[in-house]
Amino acid sequence: MKKIISLIVVAGLAFVSGCGKSNSSSGGSSNVTGGKKITVALMPKSKGNAYFISCKKGADKAANELGVDLVFDGPTDPDPAKQNEIVENWITLGVDAIAVACENREGISTALRKAKAKGIKVVTYDADALPNARDFFVNQATPEGIGYGLMDEAARLCGNEGEFAIITASLTAANMIEWQKYIEAHRADKYPNMKMIALRPCDDMKDKAQSEATALLSANPNLKCIMAICSPAVPGSAEAIKQAGKIGKVKLLGLGLPNENKRYVHDGVTDSVILWKTEDLGYLAVFAADALAKGDLKPGDKTIKAGPLGELQIEGDSILLGKPFIFNKSNIDQFDF
């Protein structure tokens, strides 16, 4: 396993250290409910997104280790209506647990509540539903940590002043909404001379991100920085900056996969890439869903022992994976995902 070195922990992470207080879930009991093997159904926001392909790798690993039957399905491209349809299918199939990354926080909640009412355990991961529509949210990192980290890094790249724009996945996904809220709060509090001039959704698609970034670059001659907060938007924006001949003039940072961004980082187009371990996120989503189905994870638990991920904190109904990392020229080649 590759060693993580020189990783700068994103500032402002608000991890509560309540270790070992009580009610630890270990996921240690047998993997059968009523004589049948546990089936966990896992859904990404979209199957074509490399981010979720990487989550799936970790999910497969957890399913193998735990002896879980893993059903995997999702829209090819982001599509909230299709997500609802798939949940309805899983209710009919009678799976034991569902783990879903939600494209539309409100939109999917009715279907998830229906699943819960039928006795199916529900976790969300990556992007949450409404709290009453699921049992737990498997959170990649605190939204404060992600939002503050992005804003600190953007301000550093811009010398604390100037115009920046955000390219987001969608205006309906809970993770994007939450992160953006903390980016703005931190900007207003710490960097009043940084001005956000635009927020553009790219539907979590690289091509659309590229055309949005191209439009932003040509309409805003004073733009100093693009902050791309969904993974396809980072290489999409990099391509736009490169083609506009603005390498180095417009800084770029975002939440992206090391493998999709290495060449842009080495070419000096992309300055910083921030992310968590996506495989671990997929692993934890399946682990938590299975533990819930077996009764090993219960409301009120403060920690969960998630196999190789060790003991993780649970804050309320949110299971925290850990802290994000910043990848740049000095360390990005050490990562392969």
Answer yes or no: are the C-beta atoms of 83 and 102 closer than 8 Å. Answer: yes
Structure tokens at 84: 């609802």
Is 126 in a helix, a strand, or coil?
coil
Contacts of 7 (CB under 8 A, 6+ apart): 325, 326, 331
The size of the interface with ligand RAM (CB under 6 A), counted in residues, is: 11
Kindly state the smallest distance separating residue 324's Cβ from ligand RAM, in Å. Answer: 10
Residue list 183-242, contact with ligand RAM (CB under 6 A): 204, 230-231
Q: Which stretch binds ligand RAM (CB under 6 A): 5-13, 43-51, 113-121, 241-249?
A: 43-51
Q: How far is the CB of 255 from ligand RAM (least distance, A)?
A: 4
Residue indicated by tokens 């991100």: 209
Write down the least CB distance from residue 204 to ligand RAM, Å: 5
Closest CA to 128 of 140, 117, 116, 119: 140
Q: How far apart are CA 145 and CA 137, in angstroms?
A: 16
Which has the closest alpha carbon to 152: 179, 183, 180, 192? 183
Is position 51 an interface residue for ligand RAM (rule: CB under 6 A)? yes
User: Of residues 169, 209, 228, 312, which one binds ligand RAM by CB under 6 A?
Assistant: 169
CB of 161 to ligand RAM, least distance (A): 27
Look at the alpha carbons of 42, 337, 25, 66 in this order and tell me if their dihedral is positive or negative.
positive
- Which one, 255 or 319, has the nearer CB to ligand RAM? 255
Identity of the residue, 45 or 294, whose beta carbon is nearer to ligand RAM in the bound complex: 45
CB 126, min distance to ligand RAM, A: 5
Binding positions for ligand RAM, rule: CB under 6 A: 45, 49, 51, 126-127, 169, 175, 204, 230-231, 255
